[in-house]
Structure formats: C-alpha cells, structure tokens
Structure 1
Amino acid sequence: MLRVIVRSLCTRCQALPHPSLLSRPCSTSGSLENTETVDALYDLSVDIQKIRQLKGWVLLQSPAYVSQTAQLLRDLGADGPKVARVLELFPEAVLCSPDEMLAQRELWSSVCPNPKELVGIIEKFPASFFTSSCHHSNQRENIAFFRSLQLNRRVVAKLMASAPQSFSRPVQQNQVMVKTLQEAYLELGGEEANMRVWLQKLLSQNPFVLLKPPEVLRENLLFLSARGFSATQLLRLLSKLRGFVTELNPHSMRLSLAYSQDTLACSDSDLRDIVLRCPALLYFPEAVLEERIQGLLGAGVSLAQIIQTPSVLELTPQIVSYRFQRLKARGYSVGTGSLEVLNGTKKDFEASYSKLQLRRDRPLFNPVAPLAGDD
C-alpha cells in the first residue's frame, strides 16, 4: 500500500510544473554550471540559452564576476539593455577580475575620457576592453607611443578597439611598421608637415596595417614602381588604398593587371591611369573582375564607359543591377549616359539619383516669373 501511495505522489509531482523550470531555461550541458553565474545573468535579463549555445564553457567557470562587471558598465552610464547586450555578445567579460576591469577602465579613460563614448566602444568591441592583465604593460606602452605621434585620442581609441592585437604586442613591432610607413611617405615625395595627418587617416581607415610585415609594403611598392608608376602616383595610390597595399602581393597584382589590360584593350599608361582611379583592379582576383566587367557589358555598357568611370568596378553585380533598374525606371539610359551616377555608397547614389530626378522634373519655365510684355 505504501509503495502505491509513493508512486502516485511521484506521478503527481512529475505532472506539476517546477517553479525554477518556469523561470530559468534548463542546461543541456553534461557539466555542472556555476549556478551563481546563471542566476546573476538571468537577473540581468541576459539570454542564457544563447550563451549556452555559443559559449557555454563560460557558465562552467568559477570564480565569475557578473555583478561587478554589470556595475562597472552601469558606472560608465550603460542602462540595463546595454549591460545585457554586452554580456550576451561577450560573456567572457564576467571572468575578468575586478582589479583587471578597473585597470582597463583607467587605461581606456586615458584615450577616451568620455564615459558615454567608452560605453559605445565596449558595446561594439567588448573583447578589446575585457582583456587579460598580462597585456596591460604592452597596452600602456603602445598608447604612449601613438600619443607621442600626436595622433588624435579618438584615433588611438579606434585602433585599440578595432585592432586590439596591435596594442597587446610589444611596442617595438608597431614602431617598426610606423617608421616604414613614414619613410615610404617621405621617399615618395610626401611633405613632412602633412605626414601626421596622412598617417592618422591611414591608420584610422585600416588599423590592421600595423599587423602586416613591413617588408611586404616595400616589396609591393617596388613592384608597382617597376610597372611604371611614378613616385607621385605611388603616393596617391598608397593613400587611396588606405594601407591595403600591405595585403597585396606581386603575383596576384600581376595577374589582375594583365587581365584588366587585355580586357580593356588599353596601353600601359592608360592602365596606370585607370588603376589610380580604381585601385580595386590591384586586389580583385581575375574571376571577380571578369564577373563585373562582363556584367556591365551584358547590361549594355560599353568598354569606353568603363574606362571613363572604372570605379564602377568596385560595386558588386547585385548593387549595379539594382541601381540600373532604378535609373531605367526614371528613363535614364545607362548605355549612353555617364556611369558616374552609379558610383559611391548608397547615400551617394541616392543623392545623385535625387539630383537626376530634379533635373528631369524641373519645369521648362518658371510659372511664377512675370511674362515679358510689350513696352
């Protein structure tokens, strides 16, 4: 009889929902999670199931500093949703000790004193902020180095955020690459008075240039010089490529240039001019160039138009097709008109399209203007 009663009670208990299961998603991990971590994250409205799927190992660690991490973000001005978003994107943040977090806050405040801006950086690049204390010494030395170059604080903060590896490594490696860039700039005819602005712009546009071997830069510049580019042209190209010249190599550039010249049927001099107006010809593989050129030709564009506006090759076939449709709907002939209207970002295109529309819709006479009468 007792066994029957117990069995019926167990069956009844199994049928009733357990309070904790209603409020917290269950773990699917075979290892034991740190319940304090899970509870603290849940209280912050963090999507724990998302963390389990992507970075479940974090929930197994002990100690974890969830409340301290959340408090640090609140002290900087982050509201509840922002705190939850940071912890969902980078749950490893809770494994940083309070001392490490305070050290990072002090470090980052030296280049980003505005708490609101710092919260914005942490939202986008949490891994750059919540980093190991073993990198603090290198970070400090690299900050001091880039500040000694008189770079804007925001540029230094952007470098730290988007390319944290360059600040975690020894400062000597960054010094070598920066010196190589400065020497190349001066050797190509750049003015020393403008070098700081040039370097700041280049690093801001492509922070990862710091992580490339310095010899790659010189090798690629020598190759382009051998192809007939003058020092002035190389300086323009280096600036337009925004440091991406360090990601190229002579072999791939040789193939891309050969295909472009054969397809566009242009001279060496004309090819150099086209490359200066469309540096993408250097780094796009032959297959990409073929797809884009053939796509334009198939849409009724001539080779002469492409040569006149080669920067259109920087657009993907999907973007070109969409913009062609928009223009044709307005009666614009892409086969006879300029391709310049296609160029630029979405914002640039919309501005050009709007001007084109205004020209088309403008009345032939001003209805408000007085009519000329007989004297």
Structure 2
Amino acid sequence: MLRLVATSLCLRCLPVPALSPHIRQCGTTRPAENQQTVDTFYDLAVDIQKVRKLKGWVLHQHPAYAKEVAHLLRDMGASGPVIANVLVVHPEAVLCNPEEMEAQRELWTSVCPNRKELVGIIEKFPASFFTSASHHQNQRNNITYFHSLNLNKRIITKLMASAPQSFSRPVEQNQVMVDTLQRFYIELGGEKNNMKIWLQKLLSQNPFVLLKSPDVLRQNLLFLKDRGFTTAELLHLLSKLRGFVTELNPDSMNQTLLYSQEMMGCSENQLREIVLKCPALLYYPKHILSDRFEGLLRAGISVSQIMDTPTVLELTTQIVNYRLQKLRAHGYDARTGSLEVLNGTKRTLSRAMAN
C-alpha cells in the first residue's frame, strides 16, 4: 500500500510537458489584417487607429473593396475628407461588392437625383446606403409604394436614410401601418384633401412610426378617448405628436396624467386642456416631471403660471434656471410676468432681454 501511495504521489509530481508554441497560439490566432484595405485606408487619410479601436474586425475581412468604395463616392462628387469620414464611421462599406454598390447608387438616384444632396445623405447615413443586396427588391417595392401615395421624393429619401429598416422589409408591412394611419385620420374627422400633407409631415417627423404595431396606435387612441378627449381633440393630438403616439402606452400615460393632475390640482377638463396645449406632456415619466415641477416651483413660478403655459415643462431644469438668470439680469421677473418668454426660442429670449 505504501508503494502505491508513493507511486501515486510521484506521478502527481511529474512535470507537465509544456505546450508547443504552435499549439498555444492556435486558440488566440487571429487572421492577419487585409493589407490592401489597410494601405488604401492610409492613402485615403482614414483614421485607421479609430477604425481598429471601434470596428477592427472589418480590417481582417477578405475580400474587401476599399478602393471601389472610394471610386464610387469620388465619382458621385464626394471630397477626400468626406470619403475618409464615411469609412471611419462605417468601415463595413468596404464589404459591399461593386455590383451591390452600383445597384444602391441606381436605387438612391431614382429618389434623390441631386448628387450633392445624395453625398450629404451618405455621409450622414452610410449604413443606409451600403447595405446587403438581399434587401434591394424590398427597397424597390417600397419606393414604388410610397410613390403611389404621392409622397414627394425628399420625404421618401428621408425615410430611406433615417429608417432603413422600413425599406428593407416587405412592402406589405409598411402598407398595413400606413392604411391604419390613414383610416384613423379619416375616422377622427380629418379632411381627405389634406391627408397627403398630413401623412408627409407625420412620416417626416417620425420615420420610425412605420416600424410600430398598428395595435399600439389603436390602444393609445382608445385610452385617450376613454379619458374624455373628443375625436377632434384626438386628431389634434395625433397630428401634434406626429406619430410619436406609437411610442407611448396606456400605463405610462395614465401615470403621467395622474401625477400632473395631482401636482396642479386641476379638474379632468382642465387637464385635457393642458395636454392639448402641451401634447408632449404625455411622454414624460413621473421622475422627470417631478424634477421639472419642483425646479419651477423653487424658482418662484406658480402652479397657475404652469397651467397657463404648460409647454414650459418641455424645458429641462437647467435650461429654465439659465433663462431665468438671463431674464432677471435684464430686469424681467418671470414670477410676475408671462412664461411665454421663458418658454420661447433663443431668439425670443434675446428679443425680450433687448426690450
């Protein structure tokens, strides 16, 4: 038994053979960078260190088409700094093959023929332009559909740039949401002659409304109807919120309305009037509203003033305090005057101080 124990101990003490350098490296080996991509980036004055830090994996891909991307953009009128900026922000562009890039150029110029404008869009939204060929047919179908709605090309271009997901998916999904919006617009008393303009404004302000569920829109409007808003008032809210009503839900709106009513001590009718003056009030969660109400009250603003000009609640506490100080320095006391000045733009504020 002693021999067995001794043998066992000896075996445990035997040195473990070291792994060969080749075996040790296999687990952490990374493909070498694509030297052609790296060299092209250097030639184009691309901040390659920033690319390595944020999206270094792109530099290891084969094949890559950095020269082709630069040629395409240069041919469209892009300057060297613009090309470099596009490749820093979206280096994945080099993974699109030349056929895909040409197909995208043809597609985008069909809605934005102005090359200078198109280059500006690509610089701002490169990921929307350099996309997979698998989406091209959906993009074409969606362009055709939105043309059929008589939307102008500028609106369609904005949708493609800022909400590319809506153009990459089947056209039928967008059609369902647009049909829902148009139906509610008519049911709430909107004039058919103005529907195109209304829809253009809504999609321009919130392109992502197309990606929302029609059921969400329906539930939110039903909730507001149950709170006493008339059809005309619902149309006003839907128009003022410009599709952002789909970002809300009945629970959050209910909490916001209950808190606002408690803080202002107002009736249901007064609360509805306040919301109609300031539809954005529906968005803010309780903790944000609490901070803004308390900031205004600490500054000496009365509840009645807030009720008269509820849009002041759209301003952060920091902005309110800054503007109050500026006005006070010029002899205007917001505590005894109108909050319209406080709530206005910088130009309005400057005009008030000048007077």
Partner SS for 1:174: helix
| Deviations 1:107-139, CA, capped at 9 Å, x for gaps | 000110000000000010000000000000000
Give the aligned residue type for 2:349.
Y
- Listed one character per residue, the Cα deviations across residues 198-257 of structure 1 (whole Å, up to 9, x for unaligned) are 000000000000000001101100000000000000000001111111111111111110
Residue number in structure 2 paired with 1:231 = 231
1:81 matches 2:81: yes
2:251 aligns with 251
Task: Give the AA of the match of 1:120.
Answer: G
Q: 1:135 corresponds to which residue?
A: 135
* Partner amino acid, structure 1, of 2:220: N
Q: Distance in 2 between matches of 1:104 and 1:320?
A: 46
The answer to whether the aligner puts 1:354 opposite 2:350 as a matched pair is yes
Structure 2: distance between partners of 1:79 and 1:355: 40
Task: Please identify, of 328-337 and 116-125, the stretch whose mean Cα deviation from structure 2 is larger.
Answer: 328-337
How far off its partner does 1:294 sit? 0.5
Q: Is residue 181 from structure 1 mapped to residue 181 from structure 2 by the alignment?
A: yes
Residue identity matched to 2:185: Y
Q: CA deviation at 1:354?
A: 2.8
CA distance in structure 2 between the partners assigned to 1:319 and 1:122 by the alignment: 34
**RMSD across aligned C-alpha pairs, in angstroms?**
1.0
Within 5 Å, which residues of 2 pair with 1:294-313?
294-313=294-313
Partner residue in 1 for 2:42: 42
CA distance in 2, matches of 1:307, 1:286: 17
Write out the 4+ residue segments of structure 1 that deviate beyond 4 Å after TM superposition: none
State the alpha-carbon separation in 2 of the partners of residues 322 and 170 from structure 1: 48
TM-superposed deviation, 1:281: 1.8
Structure 1 residue aligned with 2:192: 192
Matches within 5 A, 1:1-375: 30-344=30-344, 348-349=345-346, 351-359=347-355
Structure 2: 5+ residue runs without aligned partners?
1-28
Task: Kindly state the Cα deviation for residue 35 of structure 1 after the two structures are TM-superposed.
Answer: 0.5
Instruction: Give the Cα–Cα distance (whole angstroms) in 2 for the partners of residues 73 and 80 of structure 1.
Output: 9
Q: Secondary structure at the match of 1:335?
A: coil
Equivalents in 2 of 1:191, 1:71: separation in Å? 49
User: Aligned-pair distance for 1:30?
Assistant: 4.5
Normalized against structure 2, the TM-score is what?
Answer: 0.91
How far 1:355 sits from its partner (Å)? Answer: 2.2
Could you tell me how far 1:45 is from its partner in structure 2?
0.3
CA distance in 1, matches of 2:309, 2:77: 48
User: How far apart are the structure 2 equivalents of 1:279 and 1:318?
Assistant: 22
Instruction: List alignment gaps of at least 5 residues for structure 1.
Output: 1-28, 360-375
**DSSP-derived class of the 2:323 partner:** helix
1:153 & 1:343 partners in 2: Cα distance? 35
Q: What is aligned with 1:364?
A: none
Partner amino acid, structure 1, of 2:252: S
Count of residue pairs brought into register by the alignment: 327
Distance in 2 between the 1:128 and 1:339 partners? 42
Q: Distance in 1 between matches of 2:321 and 2:105?
A: 47
Q: C-alpha offsets along residues 341-362 of structure 1, whole Å, 9 cap, x if unaligned?
A: 1224xxx22x212322342xxx
